Structure 1
Amino acid sequence: MRNASPSTNVPLQLRDAVAAALALEPAIFGRAGAVDAAAAYPAADIAGLSGAGLLGACLPAAFGGVGLGHGAESADVLREVLRTIGRASLTVGRLYEGHVNALRLARHSPAALALLADEIAAGRISGVWNAERGEGLRAERIAGGWRLTGHKIHCSGSGAVRRPLVTARIGEQGPLMMLPEVGGERVDLSVWRAAGMRGTATGTVDFTGLVVPDAAVIGEPGDYYRSPGFSGGAWRVLAVQLGGLDRIMALHVERLGVRGGGDPVMRARLARAGAAHEAARLSVREAGRRAEGEGEPAAIDAYVDLARGGFEELALACIEATRRNVGLGSFIAPDPLDRALRDLETYLRQPFLDASRDNAAGWLLGHGGCFA
C-alpha cells in the first residue's frame, strides 16, 4: 500500500520525508496491536519518527528543519507523510499531527521555535492542548511572565510531552498561546477509557502554579483562532484519518479475498466503500492544497469546514460497509481490523463539526452554492 510519489517539483529533502514515513510504516503497524492492548504510549514509534528526522522536518531551515508543511509546495508531501503514519497507526498519527500543529502555530515566534527545537533534539514531541471544561486555564501577569491556574482536558501525549502548546485566558481577552514546561506529576491518565485511540496517553493536566516566562509566549491574545490557521489547519487531521481509512479498505478487501470475492451483495457494499474512500481522498487533497495556498482566509476556512463534515460522513459509510461485510470478526480483538475501526470511530469524534458545517453552508449561501 504505497502512496503515489509527491511531485518532483518539490525539494528533495521534502520528498525524502515521504520515503522516511513509508520506511517506518511496517514497524509502526506491527507494534500497534501491542500498544492498543496495553493502552501504552507508543514510545518506540515516536523514537522512530525522531530517528528518521520527521519530528524536526516541520521546523524552518534556520532551526534545522526542511519546512515541511510551510507553503503550498509542500502541502502534498505533508499530506502523504500524515496519511502514511495514520495508515500505520492512528494513535501515532494523532500524536504526530499534534506535534506538527504546535510547530505551525509557533512558526512566527523564533523564541518558541527554539524551545521546540530543543525538545525535538531530545527526541520529544510537542502537542496542542486546548480542550477544557468550566473555567479552564487562566493566566495572570507577573514580572517577566505569567502564572497559570486551572486544567486542560483530552491532552494527548500527557506525561511524554514536556513542552505542549496551550491556550490560557487573560481576563476577557482572547486566549494566549504559550509553551509551559510540564512534568508528569501533573498528569491524570485515569480518565481515558475510550474504546479506540487507547495509546495516545490522553489525560487531564493541572497547570496550577506553573510560571511561563515571556520567552515562551507566542503571539498576542486571540492569535490561536486567527483565520485560516485554526479552521484551515484541520485538514491535517483529515490526512491522518485518511490513512486510517486506507488501512480499513485494505483489510476489508483482504477479508473478502479470503472468501473468493464474496457474493454480489458484498461486492456492492465494497463498491460503496470504495467510492466513499475515493471521495474522501480527493477532498483531503484539495483541502490541503487550498489551506496551504494563498487564498482568501474565509474561503479556506469554509472549504476545510466542508471537507471535515463530508469526510465524517464518507468515513462512516466506509466503516458501515466494512462491518457488514466482515461481520462479527470486525468487532473482535486482537484483529487489526477491529483496532483500525475502533480507532477511526473514536478519532472521528472531532469537536464543533456541526458548527463547521454551518459555517460552510453560510459561505455557500453567499457564493452561489459552490466553490470555484
Structure 2
Amino acid sequence: MSTDPDLRRTRLVADAYRIADDVLFPAASDVDRTSSVPASHWTTIAEAGLFGIAAPVDAGGPGLDFAQVIEISEVMASGCLATAFTWLQHHGVVIALATTANQRLRDELFAATVAGRLRAGVAYAGVVPTPPRMRATRVDGGWRFDGHAPFVSGWGIVDLLQISARDVDTDDVLAAILPIQQPPDAITVKPLHLGVADATRTVSLAVTGLVVPDDRIVSRVTLDDFFANQNTGIRINGTLPLGVVRRCAALLDVGGHPHAARAVRDRTGRVRAALDAGMTDAATLIAARADGAQLAVDAAATLIAAEGGAALLRGAHPERLAREAAFTLVAASRPQLKELLVDRFSAPPAARTP
C-alpha cells in the first residue's frame, strides 16, 4: 500500500466498495445458506488493510476521519451483513489496544490486529444493564470474572476476545483481552443458531471463576465514562441498517424501479444526517438509530413488493435482505431503542415514517 497518507485513505475507501460489491455480495447467499464465512473473505479484507481502519495515524494506522470509517462500515454491511457484523467487532479491540496504558499487551497484539493476522471480537454487553451480567472481583495478581455474556459473535472465527466486567467494589468497567482458540475451562460456550446472519457464529458464554492476570487488562474506566463513550459505538452500529438499505436501493435500480430507489436513498440521507447530528446527544442518536432500522425494514419490503413472488424464494436476495433488516432491529440494541421501535411499529403508518 502507498505510503502517501491521502492516497492510502482514498484506496481504503475504494477497496471497501470493490470488496463489498465484487466479493462479499456475490457470495452473500452462500454465506447465508451455509452459515459460514469463507476464509478467503478474511484474507481479502486483511490484504486491503480494512482490519486497521480504526487505528490512529500516530499508532501507524491510516488516520481515517470518522466519516470515512462510517462510510467503509456502511458499504461493507451492504455486501454481506454476517461478514460485516463479525468484522465490525474487531475495531473496538484495535481502538482499545491503540489507547491502552498496558504497553506490554499493546506490543504483543496491536500490530497483528491492525494487519488482520489476529481477528478479535468483543463481549461487553454484560456491563450495560444494572445490575450487570458480568462482574470482576480483585484477586492476587489479577481479577476474577463471573457472569454471563448472552450474545458473542465470531466464535471459532476470532482469535481474541475483549471481555468487559464491572468491578464489584467500585462499578468501574474493566476490559481484558484473552486468546480464545482454546477457551479456558472457566468459560462454558453455548452455540446459538440464528435465523439470519448465522455465519456470525454467535454464542452465549457462561463465565465462572475466570482468573484474568493484570497483564491482560487493556482498560479500566468509570461507569460514567463507559456510557459517555457509547455514542461512538451506537453511531457505528447505525451503519448496519443503512448497509442493508444501500443494497436494497441498488437492486431496485437493477429491477427497473429507479423512483423507488431514489426515494429510499433520499430517506437514507436524512437518517444518516440525523445519526451524525446525534453524536453529542444520546436521545437524538437513539431516535436516529431507530429511524435507520425502520428504514431497512421498509426498504426490504419495497424490494419484495417490487420483485413479486420470486422474492420469497429461500436464498433470493430480497428474502435474505428482509431477514437482515430484522437483524438490525435488535443487533447491538439498547433498552431505549427497543422501546422506541415497539412504539414506532405499533403506531399508525403516518406517524412512523422517518
TM over 0.5: yes
Structure 1 spans left out of the alignment, 5+ residues = 1-9, 69-73, 262-266, 292-298, 359-372
Structure 2 matches for 1:194-273, cutoff 5 A?
A: 194-217=194-217, 218-222=219-223, 225-227=226-228, 229-255=229-255, 257=256, 271=260
Structure 2 matches for 1:106-255, cutoff 5 A?
A: 106-111=97-102, 113-114=106-107, 115-121=109-115, 123-132=117-126, 136-171=133-168, 173-185=171-183, 186=187, 188=189, 190-192=191-193, 194-217=194-217, 218-222=219-223, 225-227=226-228, 229-255=229-255
Assess if the C-alpha contact under 8 Å between 1:155 and 1:202 holds in 2.
yes
Greater RCO structure (CA 8 Å; 6+ sep): 1
Q: Give, in angstroms, the shift of residue 166 of structure 1.
A: 1.9
Q: Give, in angstroms, the shift of residue 56 of structure 1.
A: 1.9
Alignment of 1:46 onto 2:42:
yes
**1:88: which partner in 2?**
79
Counterpart CA distance in 2 for 1:355 and 1:251 is: 28
- The letter for the 2-side match of 1:339 is R
Assess if the C-alpha contact under 8 Å between 2:301 and 2:322 holds in 1.
no
User: What TM-score results when the alignment is normalised by the length of structure 2?
Assistant: 0.80
Assess if the C-alpha contact under 8 Å between 1:177 and 1:224 holds in 2.
no
Counterpart CA distance in 2 for 1:187 and 1:274 is: 48
Structure 2 spans left out of the alignment, 5+ residues = 341-354
Alignment of 1:13 onto 2:3:
no
Q: Give, in angstroms, the shift of residue 243 of structure 1.
A: 1.7
User: What TM-score results when the alignment is normalised by the length of structure 1?
Assistant: 0.76
Deviation digits for residues 216-260 of structure 1 (CA, Å, limit 9, x no counterpart): 321224266331x203431111223212211112223323x3xxx
Tell me, what secondary structure is at the counterpart of 2:83? helix
Of 237, 259, 271 in structure 2, the residue corresponding to residue 283 of structure 1 is 271
Structure 2 matches for 1:251-330, cutoff 5 A?
A: 251-255=251-255, 257=256, 271=260, 274-285=262-273, 287-288=275-276, 291=279, 299-330=280-311
Structure 2 matches for 1:46-65, cutoff 5 A?
A: 46-65=42-61
- The letter for the 2-side match of 1:84 is V
Tell me, what secondary structure is at the counterpart of 1:310? helix
Tell me, what secondary structure is at the counterpart of 1:180? strand
Counterpart CA distance in 1 for 2:28 and 2:209 is: 37
Assess if the C-alpha contact under 8 Å between 1:153 and 1:205 holds in 2.
yes
Counterpart CA distance in 1 for 2:283 and 2:315 is: 39
Q: Give, in angstroms, the shift of residue 290 of structure 1.
A: 6.2
Assess if the C-alpha contact under 8 Å between 1:191 and 1:204 holds in 2.
yes
- The letter for the 1-side match of 2:28 is A
Change (3 A) 1:119 1:143: farther
Assess if the C-alpha contact under 8 Å between 2:24 and 2:41 holds in 1.
yes
Assess if the C-alpha contact under 8 Å between 1:109 and 1:219 holds in 2.
no
Alignment of 1:346 onto 2:327:
yes
Q: Give, in angstroms, the shift of residue 356 of structure 1.
A: 7.9
Tell me, what secondary structure is at the counterpart of 1:318? helix
Counterpart CA distance in 1 for 2:266 and 2:335 is: 21
Deviation digits for residues 264-320 of structure 1 (CA, Å, limit 9, x no counterpart): xxx8xx63x6434422234324534763xxxxxxx4323322211221222222222
**1:35: which partner in 2?**
31
- The letter for the 2-side match of 1:59 is A
Quick check: which one's strand share is greater?
2
Counterpart CA distance in 1 for 2:277 and 2:94 is: 19
Counterpart CA distance in 2 for 1:247 and 1:288 is: 21
Q: Give, in angstroms, the shift of residue 201 of structure 1.
A: 0.9
Counterpart CA distance in 2 for 1:42 and 1:109 is: 32
Counterpart CA distance in 2 for 1:51 and 1:24 is: 11
Deviates more, 1:153-162 or 1:321-330: 321-330
- The letter for the 1-side match of 2:275 is A
**1:335: which partner in 2?**
316
Deviation digits for residues 21-40 of structure 1 (CA, Å, limit 9, x no counterpart): 12322112222222111111
Assess if the C-alpha contact under 8 Å between 1:176 and 1:223 holds in 2.
no
Tell me, what secondary structure is at the counterpart of 2:143? strand
Q: Over aligned residues, Cα RMSD in angstroms?
A: 2.9
- The letter for the 1-side match of 2:212 is V
Assess if the C-alpha contact under 8 Å between 1:63 and 1:113 holds in 2.
no
Change (3 A) 1:30 1:330: same
Counterpart CA distance in 1 for 2:182 and 2:157 is: 7
Counterpart CA distance in 2 for 1:137 and 1:340 is: 33
Change (3 A) 1:230 1:107: farther
**2:346: which partner in 1?**
none
Q: Give, in angstroms, the shift of residue 97 of structure 1.
A: 1.8
